[in-house]
Structure 1
Amino acid sequence: MAIRIRLMRKGRRNRPFYRVVAAEASAPRDGKFLEVLGYYDPLKDPYEFKVDPEKVKKWLDRGAKPTETVRALLRRSGILN
């Protein structure tokens, strides 16, 4: 059971909004997830990225691996080194 920290797309056509979630790697992108960790809004200037650092660290300690996009966002926010 591989756990990924990834983005779940929400919003409407041409107006994306993403939730940062912990989900099994085999689950569909917008399907079943284990926990919501935060959100990412790329349309705001500057973009808005809010996550609960304690929840993210908890999932990372459990062995969850972030996707490349989420890893870059976490690094920019200072949660990951």
Structure 2
Amino acid sequence: MSVKIRLRRISDTAKKRFNFRVVVIDERQPRDGRVIEEIGYYDPSKTPASLKIDKQKFEDWQKKGAVASQTLKSLIKKVK
């Protein structure tokens, strides 16, 4: 089983505002499929956009072999 750390969209479709959870998920699952663990969130509607990730869990999952998605990597670089 290959594990990825990526974004899962949650939304208020009536107002077209999207928020995202940072999740650990099997890469074969769809974007909004069953997750292993939620480790943070990303809210692009705020100014500036807010990204909060539990660093300890993120590092633990990377040690176990989970790979962060390209989108998540770019968001983390922007925050640092």
Same fold (TM over 0.5): yes
TM (norm. structure 1) is 0.90
**What's the counterpart of residue 59 of structure 2?**
57
**Aligned position for 2:69:** 67
Deviations 1:31-70 (A, max 9, x none): 1010001000001000010010000000010111111110
1:13-28 equivalence runs, <5 A: 13=13, 14-28=16-30
Cα deviation for residue 29 of structure 1 reads 0.6
Structure 2 stretches lacking a partner, 5+ long: none
Between the two proteins, what is the percent identity of the paired residues? 37
1:39 aligns to what?
Answer: 41
Inter-partner Cα distance in structure 2 for 1:76 and 1:63: 23
Question: What letter matches 1:3 in structure 2?
Answer: V
Deviating 4+ runs (over 6 angstroms): none
Instruction: Let me know the Cα RMSD of the aligned residues.
Output: 0.9
Return the letter of the residue paired with 1:11.
Answer: S
What is the alpha-carbon distance in structure 1 between the residues aligned to residue 76 and residue 62 of structure 2?
Answer: 12
Cα distance in 1 for partners of 2:11, 2:53 equals 18
For 1:57 and 1:75, the matched residues in 2 are separated by: 15
